[in-house]
Amino acid sequence: MNRINTAILVSPWLLTLGIFWVFPVVYSLGLAFTDYRIFGEATFVGLANFGRLLGDPAFLQAFSNTAFFVFGTIPLTTVIALILALLINDKIPGHKIFQAGYFIPSITSMVVIALIFSSLYARGGYLHLLGRLIGFDVPPNGYLFSTKTALSAIMIMDIWVAVGYYVLLFLAGIKGIPEEVFEAARLDGAGFWRRLYSITLPQLEPITLFVLVINTIRSFQIFVEIYVMTRGGPLGSTSTVVYFVFDEGLHKFNIGYASAAAYLLFMVILIFAIVQLKLVTHRGGSL
C-alpha cells in the first residue's frame, strides 16, 4: 500500500520528467541522425550531420567562440569570487552590503542586464566614453559592433553577473572551516598568506571544483546574452554553440542538423564534467 501511495505521490513529477524532459532528449537524439526539416518527412542520414558540422565554418566559429568564452571567463570569475569572499569574510566595514551587492546581478533578469550593458557599450554609452577618456582605441560604433571587441565585452559583463553567486559559495566554504584550525596556525606564527595557502585553499578544494563544474556547464550554454545583445554578430564573432543550435533549429528549421550540434555540445560538456569529477574523487573529495 505504501508503495502504491509513493507511486501516486511521485507520478506527477515522473510524468512531467518523462514527457517534457526524457522524451524530447531521446527524440532529439534520433533526429540528430536524420535530415528532418520542419516541413516534410525525416530521412535517416547516419552520421552525416556530425560530419557536416565538423566542416561547417559557422559551427567551427561558434565552437571556437564558446571555448574562448569558457576558458576566458571561468578562471577570472573563480579568482575574483574567491578574493571577494576572503575580503567579505574578514568582516570589513559594511561587508553585509557588499555581500548583498555582489549577489544582486545574479538574481536580476539576464535580459534586463543585457539591455543595460548594450546601452553602456553603444557608441556614446558610458563605457564607450570611459574607454575613450582612458585613451583606448575604442571601436567607433561601440564595443558590440566590432568583431574584435564584441565577445570580450559580453564576457566582461558575464563575469560581473556570475561572480556574486560564486562569492556566496566560497563564503559558505570558508565559514565551514573550523576556526580552531586558524587559531592553531596563528599560535604557530602563520601569517595571512601562509594560512591562505596551507589552510583556506586546500580546505576550499571541493567547493572550488564544484564552482568549476557548474561554471563550466553554465558557460558552455551561454545564450541569452548573445540573443539579446548581438544575435551572434557582428559576422558571427559572438555566435556560440547554443546560439548556433537555436539559429539552425528555430530560425532555419534544420532540426536534424541542430540536434546533432546540440549532442556534440552535450558530449563536450560531459567530457569536461567527467574529467572534473575524476579530479575530485582522485583527491578524495566529494561534490
Partner 1 sequence: MNRFLAVSLMLIISCSRQQTTQILEFWQFWTDPQAKPVIESIIDRFERENPGWQVNITDLTWSDGHQKIAVAFAAGQPPDLLELGSDWIAEFAAAHALSEIEIDTAKLLLTTPGIYDGKIYGRPWFIATRVFYFNKTLLDKAGVGLPRDWQELLIACRRIDSLGEDISGFGANSAEPHRLYKKFLPFFWSCGGEFGSDEQFSLDTPEMLKALEFYGELARCGRIELQRHLEDEFCEGKIGFLISGGWLLKRLKESPPGFEYQLSPVIPERAGAIGWSFAGGEYLVIPEKSTKRQAAQKLMAYLTQYEDTKNLCQAVGFGFPPYKISNPDSLSESMATLFNQLVNSRSTPAHSRWVYIENIIESMIEQVTLGQATPSEAIKSAQRKIEQTILN
x/- mask, partner 1, residues 15-34, rule CB under 8 A, reads --------------------
Alpha-carbon torsion (148, 116, 211, 224), positive or negative: negative
- Minimum Å gap between C-beta 135 and partner 1 is 16
Draw the binding track, 121-140, toward partner 1 (x: CB under 8 A; -: no contact). Answer: -xxx---------------x
146 in contact with partner 1 (CB under 8 A):
yes
Give the residue with the Cβ less far from partner 1, 213 or 229: 229
> Are 74 and 215 contacting, i.e. CB atoms less than 8 angstroms apart?
yes
Secondary structure, 3-state, 222-286:
CCHHHHHHCCCCCCCCCCCHHHHHHHHHHHCCCHHHHHHHHHHHHHHHHHHHHHHHHHHHHCCCC
Rank residues 64 and 141 by Cβ distance to partner 1 and give the closer one.
Answer: 141
Instruction: Check residue 141 for interaction with partner 1 (CB under 8 A).
Output: yes
Minimal distance, residue 40 CB to partner 1, in Å: 8
Instruction: Tell me if 233 contacts partner 1 by CB under 8 A.
Output: yes
Q: How far apart are CA 266 and CA 154, in angstroms?
A: 23
Query: Per DSSP, which regions of 9-50 are E strands?
Result: none
Q: Which of the residues 190 through 209 are near partner 1 (CB under 8 A)?
A: none
41-63: burial string, b at 16+ Cβ within 10 Å, e else:
eeeebeeebbeebeebeebebbb
Of 72 and 234, which has the nearer Cβ to partner 1?
234
147 binds partner 1 (CB under 8 A): yes
**Across-strand partners of 178?**
none
Q: What does DSSP assign to residue 18?
A: I
User: Would you say 271 and 67 are in contact if contact means Cβ atoms under 8 Å apart?
Assistant: no
We find the least distance from the C-beta atom of residue 251 to partner 1, in angstroms, to be 7
Smallest distance from partner 1 to CB 109, Å: 16
* Contact positions with partner 1 (CB under 8 A) in 27-66: 38-40
The residue ranges that bind partner 1 (CB under 8 A) are 38-40, 122-124, 140-142, 145-147, 231, 233-236, 250-253
